[in-house]
Amino acid sequence: MTSTKADIKSPEGKLGVLIPGLGAVSTTFIAGVFLIRKGLTAPIGSLTQLGKIMVGKGENTKHVPIKDFVPLANLKDLEFGAWDLFQDDAYDSAINAGVLSREQLDVIKDELKSVKPWKAVFDRDYVKKLDGSWVKKAPSLWDLAQMVKEDILTFKKERNLDRMVMIWCASTEIYQETVPGVHDTLANFEKALKENNKKIAPSMIYAYAALDLGIPFMNGAPNHCLDAPALRELAEKNKVAMGGKDFKSGQTLMKTILAPGFKARMIGVNGWYSTNILGNRDGEVLDDPESFKTKEVSKLSVLDQIFQPHLYPELYKDYTHVVRINYYPPRGDNKEGWDNIDIVGWLGYPMQIKVNFLCRDSILAAPIVLDLALFTDLAQRAGMYGIQEWLSFYWKSPMHDFDKEPVHDLFVQLMKLKNTLRWLMDVPLVTYIGTESYD
């Protein structure tokens, strides 16, 4: 995260939110913004809209709404553009997703109908469970990247946009690692694009197009994507904000809430077994073992950093952590997660905790998309570029510099986020919580 601490540019004008993937998460987000604009619902789950931040000390302590504390874009100034495998507009896609009621959607039908997806960049080798006809065709990956840029620039002109951000809301791709000679440098990456190298995933093409145009990119899936050193180099070169990865919405959210509590009380853990059933497009994609591996790596990374078994071997040495996801079509977007946690207490006595989390996957993810769009735009206007570690609060597998480890404790992440906002506004940081008030 880099900044000159110069004055933050004004959020005046329109902010374009560019979304690869016009599915359940993105249509729930877009519909929610339209409904909130009309005053028909509340932005529950959104830190930017409902959160408050503590400033001052003692008798001068105040709790200020975050949206009044930092200069965020107004919801009325958001414009939405998207790409998808299917030609359905946002209204039809939302109906198909089955997350929101038709009664709610019909109130904003005209607004949703106006969000029509551009043809997607897609390679079935990377998402084997999906196929669609609304797909770009070009001689090379380089040409596909230029086509994505054309979509963006046309959208900017037609909607008279001042700024844009891109947030990946499409599917999880198969597991990847950095390939030397392809992903390692920007020069190699651009050469590989022109040579049509199949080691470059669709998500990387979108990220390249955005970053090359100076548009921040946030990765909402566990795809390798921004882990490619070439794309990090591009973000640094063009001074663009970037971040990810994988929205922290359901079961992993619970882990980052519960695990810090066990650690704080020095309660041991012998094992943590997690399983899910999910029936939406995401569940279908994750039914493929190669896509699931990408998600599994993201989910498994959380507990080790929180528990620090190397520092507390008597509590967490050799604990077992298992994650399973099962595709179950009747459940649709209503995900159910079960956790069995084998804990150890005083004198080594074993105990168990069972968690049954019945959640709506896209309902939890939609406010994350909103917050990331607004906070990322803020970061870009403040001259903060590269990896935005302060937004780790929103990710299952937060991006970080190669010589650092990510922080997964939700409460530490929240403190870092709010202290970054204080730093931006030149307000003293909070390093402790007094007895009279809480942040």
Q: What are phi and psi of 344, to 5 degrees?
A: -130, 130
CB contact at 8 A, 403 and 425: no
Question: For residue range 31-62, what is the model confidence (pLDDT) as tens digits?
Answer: 999 999 999 999 999 999 999 999 988 888 99
Task: Please report, rounded to a whole number, the percentage of residues in the chain having pLDDT higher than 70.
Answer: 96
Q: Does 283 have pLDDT greater than 80?
A: no
* Residue where one domain finishes, among candidates 317, 338, 360: 360
Q: In this structure, are 60 and 150 located in the same domain?
A: yes
What confidence tier does 433 reach under pLDDT thresholds 50, 70, 90? low
Q: What is the mean pLDDT of residues 375-398?
A: 97
Q: In this structure, are 173 and 269 located in the same domain?
A: no
Q: In this structure, are 229 and 349 located in the same domain?
A: no
Q: Which domain holds residue 154?
A: 15-247+363-424
CB contact at 8 A, 40 and 107: yes
Q: In this structure, are 263 and 412 located in the same domain?
A: no
For position 3, what pLDDT does the model report? 47
Question: For residue range 119-133, what is the model confidence (pLDDT) as tens digits?
Answer: 999 999 999 888 889
For position 292, what pLDDT does the model report? 73
Q: What is the mean pLDDT of residues 200-221?
A: 98
Q: What is the mean pLDDT of residues 186-210?
A: 98
Q: In this structure, are 262 and 313 located in the same domain?
A: yes
Q: Does 435 have pLDDT greater than 60?
A: no
Of 403 and 265, the one with more pLDDT:
265
Q: What is the mean pLDDT of residues 360-384?
A: 97
* Residues near 344 by beta carbon (within 8 Å), at least 6 away in sequence: 267, 268, 269, 270, 315, 350, 351
The tokens for 292 are 């699931």
Q: What is the mean pLDDT of residues 297-318?
A: 90
Q: Determine, yes or no, domain membership for 435.
A: no
Q: What is the mean pLDDT of residues 81-86?
A: 97
Q: Does 432 have pLDDT greater than 80?
A: no
* Residues near 64 by beta carbon (within 8 Å), at least 6 away in sequence: 52, 53, 54, 55
Three-state helix/strand/coil letters over 89-111: CHHHHHHHHCCCCHHHHHHCHHH
Nearest to 72 by CA among 27, 9, 17: 9
Q: In this structure, are 341 and 374 located in the same domain?
A: no
Strands 52-55 and 62-65 turn out to be antiparallel
Task: Please report, rounded to a whole number, the percentage of residues in the chain having pLDDT higher than 90.
Answer: 82
Q: Find tokens 């969000």 and name the residue.
A: 115
Question: For residue range 67-83, what is the model confidence (pLDDT) as tens digits?
Answer: 999 999 999 999 999 99
Q: In this structure, are 329 and 371 located in the same domain?
A: no
Q: In this structure, are 102 and 179 located in the same domain?
A: yes
Q: How many domains does the chain have?
A: 2
Q: Supply the CATH number for residue 241's domain.
A: 3.40.50.720
Question: For residue range 331-347, what is the model confidence (pLDDT) as tens digits?
Answer: 888 889 999 999 999 99
Q: Determine, yes or no, domain membership for 429.
A: no
* Residues near 90 by beta carbon (within 8 Å), at least 6 away in sequence: 22, 26, 27, 30, 31, 80, 82, 112, 113, 114, 115, 116
Q: Does 149 have pLDDT greater than 70?
A: yes
Cα 47 versus chain centre, distance: 14
For position 388, what pLDDT does the model report? 97
For position 121, what pLDDT does the model report? 98
Q: In this structure, are 69 and 160 located in the same domain?
A: yes
